[in-house]
Each structure stands twice: as C-alpha cells, then as structure tokens.
C-alpha cells in the first residue's frame, strides 16, 4: 500500500504548493491579484489543474483563512505562559493588536473578508476561529474569579472584549487612511490602554 500513500503525499504537496503560491500572491500583491491563472502560472501548471485540488476560488480562500488562524493561534497562545491573570489579559490584547497591524493580510482573511466565509452554513466549520476565542473566555473567567472583573455573562463579556480589539484592528486596516500616519500607532496604543484600563481598574 506504499504506492497509494505516496500518491496521497503528492496530493497534499500539490495542495500546499497551490496554497502557498496563493498566499504569497495575496500577501504581496493583494486580493485582486490572486487569480486562478496567476496561481497556475506561478506553479507552472495549467489553470484547470487547480480545480482538481480545490472546488473553486472561495475554497482556496477558506483554506488560506485556516492557515492564517493557525499562525494567529500560535502567537496568541504564547501569552498563556504568563502567570498573573491581569498581566496575561493585557498581554493578550496587545498581542492581538500587534498581530493584526503586522499581518493585515492574515487579519483580513480571518475576520474581515467575505470570500473565505461565503460557503459556510454553520459556525461549526469555524473550529480554527474558536481556539483563540476559547482562550479569551478562559482568561476572562480567571479575571472574574479573582474579582478583577465584575461578575457577568461570559459570552457577553467575551464578545464585548473581542469587539473592542477587533474594532481597533479593523478600523486601522480598512480605514487607516483616515488617521494621519504619524499618530496612528499612538492612537492604537492609546485606545488599547484607555479601553482596557477602564475595564479592569474597577475591581
């Protein structure tokens, strides 16, 4: 059965070749330049070959989203080493914003673009998106337990805090032009401080 194993390896390799080329095109040249034909040219296959590995273009973007999530989760979970829950909470928030501003392409794929999500019918298919959200919930629970945050519905609190950082990130990514470049970082930094300290200083 070694031959069918090799075939399966080859298939995965080809899928990765396609995905990596697509990701590279997306990150370097933006969404508009990710065309089936350009991916094909990059990997030196005919355009139609791609359809032997992916149903359509949206499925490619769905898989790119997964890749982005894996990268994102890896970075997010690094903060779990921090013992102090309030310090961990801050670090998590900072890390979120950092990832978003340093990898706007990944962030777009995960939380803004429609393409990766167009064919989803249920939230279950968003498992990769859950990992870091669950981590946030756990952090919030710790904060509440230690009385750093008032007792509230965990779901509401998690959604609120996610909204808060997502708002900052997505404003900068999609409407950054609106804010003079010199102040942009200060603004982001300041907003994070402002909102987080308002949340946790109450006790």
**Residues forming the site for a copy of itself (CB under 8 A):** 111-114, 117, 120, 122-123, 126, 129, 152-153, 155-157, 159-160, 162-168, 170-171, 174-175, 177-180, 183, 186-187, 190-191, 194-195, 198-199, 202
Which tokens is 39 given? 């991916």
- 162 forms part of the interface with DNA (CB under 7 A): no
Binding-site size for DNA (CB under 7 A) equals: 22
Q: Do residues 86 and 200 make contact, with C-beta atoms less than 8 angstroms apart?
A: yes
For residue 108, the Cα-to-chain-centroid distance in whole angstroms is 7
**Min CB(130)–a copy of itself separation in Å:** 9
Which tokens is 87 given? 């310090």
The number of beta carbons lying within 10 Å of the beta carbon of residue 117 is 18
- Please state, in angstroms and rounded to a whole number, the distance separating the CA atoms of residues 114 and 48: 24
88 binds, among a copy of itself, DNA, none (CB under 5 to 8 A by kind): none
Near DNA in 9-68, by CB under 7 A? 10-11, 14, 34-38, 45-49, 51-52, 56-58
Q: Do residues 149 and 157 make contact, with C-beta atoms less than 8 angstroms apart?
A: yes
**Min CB(185)–DNA separation in Å:** 33
């Amino acid at each position: 059965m070694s031959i069918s194993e090799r075939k399966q390896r080859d298939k995965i390799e080809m899928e990765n070749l396609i995905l990596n080329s697509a990701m590279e095109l997306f990150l370097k040249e933006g969404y508009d330049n990710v065309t089936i034909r350009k991916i094909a040219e990059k990997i030196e296959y005919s355009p139609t070959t791609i359809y032997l590995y992916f149903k359509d273009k949206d499925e490619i973007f769905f898989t790119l989203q997964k890749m982005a999530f894996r990268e994102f989760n890896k970075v997010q979970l690094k903060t779990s080493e921090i013992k102090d829950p309030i310090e961990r909470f801050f670090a998590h928030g900072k890390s979120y914003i950092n990832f978003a501003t340093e990898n706007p392409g990944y962030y777009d794929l995960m939380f803004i673009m429609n393409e990766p999500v167009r064919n989803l019918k249920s939230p279950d298919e968003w498992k990769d998106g859950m990992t870091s959200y669950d981590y946030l919930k756990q952090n919030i629970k710790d904060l509440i337990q230690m009385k750093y945050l008032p007792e509230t519905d965990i779901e509401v609190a998690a959604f609120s805090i996610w909204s808060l950082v997502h708002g900052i990130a997505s404003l900068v990514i999609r409407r950054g032009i609106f804010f003079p470049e010199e102040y942009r970082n200060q603004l982001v930094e300041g907003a994070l401080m402002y909102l987080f300290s308002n949340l946790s200083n109450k006790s």
